[in-house]
Amino acid sequence: MRAVGYQTPLPIDNPASLQDIDLPKPVPSGRDLLVEIRAVSVNPVDTKVRRSAAPDAGQWRVLGWDAAGIVVGTGPEVTDFAIGDEVFYAGALDRPGTDAEFHLVDERIVGRKPRSLNWAEAAALPLTAITAWEMLFDRLDIRRSVPGVKPAVLIIGGAGGVSSIAIQLARVLTDVTVVATASRPETRDWVTSLGAHYVVDHSRPLAAQVAALPTGAPGFVFSTTQTDRHMPEIVELIASQGHFCHRG
């Protein structure tokens, strides 16, 4: 099968930094699905891995987390999917990536592709959506109350991939007021279109802008960018006994 891989971390302008290669077609076992890939997406983690993670000598590293495709083979223990099913998912750390014609994935981390999405749209969702969900509901648990404050979350870096999903999840699944940061007219329009109740400019001091909102101090702060730079103001603006989560 065809795939895209590398053997040595190199500058991206080096012709060998990513190469078209031929690899054996994988064979499913256990609860594996063999998926014929129709679309993948590129995430920041792909660029970080390519720059720093070298495969074993003589081996190829195939990048890619997110994928959407059609099940074309199943392991003997598969119970939830069948050949012909359309699926989407984010892969696993300990397996080759999705930038290939065919890919093996455990059925327990796979979902059925929404009929309302095309292949590219479905492949764009998994990793960012999982990250947003885990930050909002597993780490922050934004449905819980914070003593003495109105329910509100400040999302720093609102126009980024994870934050764009987080704004929508918070609006659809909770009654929490969403305050998002954005600095350019187009990104302010973007986060507003996603459902942010208020937008503040992260290129200017945040604490004073947040304090001027009718929400009061937010009980939750969700940060996906430049957290080290914003941390002094996060400490100042977050509610007493508030909760903070950031993506490294």
On whether both 138 and 229 belong to a single domain, the answer is yes
Query: pTM for this structure?
Result: 0.90
Residue 78's CATH number: 3.90.180.10
Each residue's pLDDT tens digit, 52-71 = 888 988 899 999 999 999 99
What pLDDT is stored for residue 190 in this prediction? Answer: 98
87 lies in the same domain as 200:
no
Residue 232: count of CB within 10 angstroms of its CB: 11
pLDDT of residue 90: 97
Average pLDDT score over the chain: 96
Which of 158, 142, 230, 245 is closest to 195 using CA atoms? 158
- Region at 105 (left for phi over 0; alpha for psi -120 to 50; beta for the rest): beta
Reported as a single tens digit per residue, the pLDDT across 4-62 is: 999 999 999 999 999 999 999 999 999 999 999 999 999 988 999 998 888 988 899 99
Residues 90 and 142 in one domain: no
Number of domains in the chain: 2
Shared domain for 172 and 147, answered yes or no, is: yes
CA-closest candidate to residue 240, choices 148, 132, 173, 178: 148
Q: Give the model's pLDDT for residue 244.
A: 98
Q: What is the CATH number of the domain that holds 191?
A: 3.40.50.720
Q: What are phi and psi of 42, to 5 degrees?
A: -110, 130
CB 222 within 8 Å of CB 163: yes
Domain-terminating residue out of 60, 92, 123: 123
Question: Which residues make Cβ contacts (< 8 Å) with residue 94, sequence separation at least 6?
Answer: none
Domain check: are 66 and 144 in the same one?
A: no
Span 147-167, pLDDT tens digits: 999 999 999 999 999 999 999
Three-state secondary structure along the chain?
CEEEEECCCCCCCCCCCCEEEECCCCCCCCCEEEEEEEEECCCHHHHHHHHHCCCCCCCCEECCCEEEEEEEEECCCCCCCCCCCEEEEECCCCCCCCCECEEEEEHHHEEECCCCCCHHHHHCCHHHHHHHHHHHHHHCCCCCCCCCCCCEEEEECCCCHHHHHHHHHHHHHCCCEEEEECCCHHHHHHHHHHCCCEEECCCCCHHHHHHCCCCCCCCEEEECCCHHHHHHHHHHHCCCCCEEEECC
> How many Cβ atoms sit within 10 Å of the Cβ of residue 83?
12
Same domain? 224 vs 156: yes
What values do phi and psi take at 127, rounded to 5?
-65, -45
